[in-house]
A and B are shown apart, each in its own frame.
Chain A
Amino acid sequence: MQRLFVGIGSHQGDDQVGWLIVEQLKRRGNIAADFRIISKPLDLLDILDNCEELILVDAADGCENDMVYFWKWPTTDISSPVSRGTHGFGLVEALILADELRLLPTNVIIVGIPVNQFAALQPIQSKTVASIEKFVSTLEATYA
C-alpha cells in the first residue's frame, strides 16, 4: 500500500462527511490508492503498515463553507475538539502519538471539509450531502 485515504467521522450529523467522501472516492476509482474509514482517531495507528502517503479526510468546524482545506502535517493550524475523539485522543493527538512511535509516513495531508452540525443521531444535512460531489471532484483533481 503506498497512498492511503482515510475518512474519519462518526454518526453525529455532518461528522460523517469524511466517511462519505472517502467511500465515494473508492467507488469512482479515479485515484490509485487504498481507502479506509475509521471512527476513532487512534484506530489510525492500526492501518499505517506500508503506507507512504497518508491523506486524512475529516469534518472541520470553523472553516469557510464550500472550500476544501489542506494542511500538511505537522501543523498547529488545527486542534481536536475536547468532546470528540476517544478518551481525549482526537485526530491531532493520534497523529502526535503516531509520530512519536515512528508510525507516520513522511507525507501526511489533512483534508478539512467545512461543516457545522454535529448533533448525536442526527442525519447529515442535505446541503452537506449536496456538496460531497464537489469535494470529491476537488480531491480527484488534486490526486488523480
Chain B
Amino acid sequence: MSESSSKKRQIHVPILTRVEGEGALNIVLNQKSIERVELNIYEPPRFFEAFLRGRSHNEVADITARICGICPIAYQMTAVQAIESAWGIEIPVSVQRLRRLMYLAEWIESHGLHIHLLHAPDFFGCDSGLELAKHNPQAVQRGLKLKKIGNHTLEILGGRAIHPISLAVGGFYRLPRPEELHALIEDFQWGLQASIEIARWVGGFEFPDFHSPTTYVALQSQLEYAIMSGNVASSDGRLLATTDYEDAFNEEHVSHSTALHSRRKGSEEPYQVGPLARIHLNYDLLCPTAKRIAEELKWRLPTFNPFHSIIARALELIQAFEEGLEIIKTFQPSGKARQDYQPVEGRGCSITEAPRGLIYHRYDLDSDGKVKTAKIVPPTSQNQRQIEQDLYEALPTLLDFDDAYVAQNCEKLIRNYDPCISCSTHFLKVRRIHKKD
C-alpha cells in the first residue's frame, strides 16, 4: 500500500470503500510537504451524452435513469424538465407536487442508506455498516426501513422501484389514485418520528475539529426548500438563472481521473454542492420540524466542517417526511396526467438537487423532438476538487501517523460527500487527430 524512501512517501488506497463506484486515492508526500493528492476515478466513462444523440425525447428519461442506480429520479426529473423548458410546457401544480414527492422519496432512500450504512460507521470506529449492525442493529434496521419506504413510494409513483417508468415529458404516464398514496401515510408518519430520532442521534456524534474553506452552491427558491427549481445561489452572494449555468461553470479533464472536474469560470477555487450547501442557502425555508430540531441540536451555521454533512442529511430526512406527508394527505387528482405539447427545434435546460447535490441537464432538440446534443453535469464531478482540497487541508495533521491511519482518515473525509463515482464518469470529449499524408 505504500512505499517509503528517505524523502518521498506514497500512500495509495486502490479501492475506496463505502462509496458508490470505483475510485482510488493517491497521495505523494515529499518529507513533510504534500506533493500530490489525487482522487483517481478509474471507472470507464459511460458516454451517455453521445448515446442520447438522435434519440426521441420520450426515451431520454429512460436512458438517463440508467446513469445511476441510486438516484435515477434525479436524472429523469432533470431531463424531462429540461425538455419541457425547451417547449414551454407548463406542468400543473398538482402534478408538480407529485413529482416533488417522487424526488423526496429518492432523498429518503439515499440519505437513509448513506447515514446508517456508509457514514455513521465512521463515527463509531466501525469498518463497515456490517460491523455497525453488530453493535447497533436497531440503527441499521431503521436505515433499512427508511430505504424501504423510499423504494415503496417510488414503486407507487414511478411504476417500479428499478428505474421508474411513469415520469414523462409533460407530466406522468399515469397518476396514482389517492388511496394508493394514502396507504403511505402510516409509513411517512413513522419516518418523520424516525428522522427526528436520527437527527438527535447524529447531532450527538463526536465530530472532528476540521475546517475546510468552501463556497456552497445550490438551488435557491423564494417559495420552498429548493429541490426542483430555483436560481443557482452561492454562499459568496452570487445568484444566476438556470439558463446561465454554462456561462458560469465549466468542466475540464484532469489526467488522474476519468471523471471531469467542475470549476467556476474565472476562479481556481473549488465549490461544494450537496446537503450542506442546500441547508446553508435555504435554511429559512426548512420545514418547521427540521428547524426546531436544528435549534435543539444547537447546530450553528455557517459551518465549514464537511463531517457535519451527516447532520444536514438528517435534517433533510425530516424535511422529506414532513413535506411528503403534507403532499400525500392533500393530494387530489385534477386534470390530465400529461399535458399536450408540440416539439419544436430549440434548447432547454434544468437544474435539480439530487441527493448528492446540484445536477444540470441541457438538451438541443430538433423539430421532430429528437436530441441533437446533450450535456449532463452530475453532482459528484462538481465536488471532486473540493474533496481534494479537504484532503490537502487534513494531511498536515496526519503526517506523523502511519500510512494505514492516514488512508483511513482520508477515506472518512471522502465519505462526507457521499460520492457517486459511477455517475461522475459520464463523458469524454473526443479530439480528432489529423494525420498528415
Contacts and interface: CB of A to CB of B under 8 A. Distances in A.
A61 B129 CA distance: 26
A101 B137 contact: yes
A46 B147 contact: yes
A40 interface: yes
Contact of B46 (A46, A86, A120): A120
B140 interface: yes
A75 to B, nearest CB: 17
B59 to A, nearest CB: 12
B19 A86 contact: no
B134 A100 contact: yes
Nearest to A87: B20
Given A46-B151, A87-B117, A100 B133 contact: yes
B66 A121 contact: yes
A93 B69 CA distance: 18
B18 A46 contact: no
B148 interface: yes
Interface in B120-162: 128-130, 133-134, 137, 140-141, 144, 147-148, 151, 161-162
A96 B69 contact: no
Interface in B215-257: none
B141 A101 contact: yes
Interface residues of A, number: 23
B17 A88 contact: yes
A87 B69 contact: no
Contacts of A93: 128, 130
Contacts of A39: 69, 162-163
A56 interface: no
A40 B144 CA distance: 13
A82 interface: yes
A17 interface: no
Contacts of B63: 121
Interface in B87-133: 113-114, 117-118, 128-130, 133
A45 B19 contact: no
A120 B19 CA distance: 19
A82 B113 CA distance: 18
A83 interface: yes
Contacts of B69: 10, 39-40, 86
Contacts of B140: 97, 101
A82 B22 contact: yes
A90 to B, nearest CB: 12
Contact of B161 (A43, A45, A100, A121): A43
A69 B117 CA distance: 31
Interface in A1-55: 10-11, 37-40, 42-43, 45-46
Contacts of B148: 45-46
Contact of A87 (B66, B113, B161, B163): B113
B351 interface: no
A89 to B, nearest CB: 7
Given A39-B162, A42-B113, A101-B133, A87 B18 contact: yes
27 contacts: A10-B69, A39-B162, A42-B113, A42-B144, A43-B147, A43-B151, A45-B144, A45-B148, A46-B144, A46-B148, A46-B151, A82-B15, A82-B22, A86-B69, A86-B70, A87-B70, A87-B113, A87-B114, A87-B117, A89-B129, A96-B130, A97-B129, A97-B130, A97-B133, A100-B137, A101-B144, A121-B63
Interface of B: 15, 17-22, 43-44, 46, 51, 63, 66, 69-70, 113-114, 117-118, 128-130, 133-134, 137, 140-141, 144, 147-148, 151, 161-163
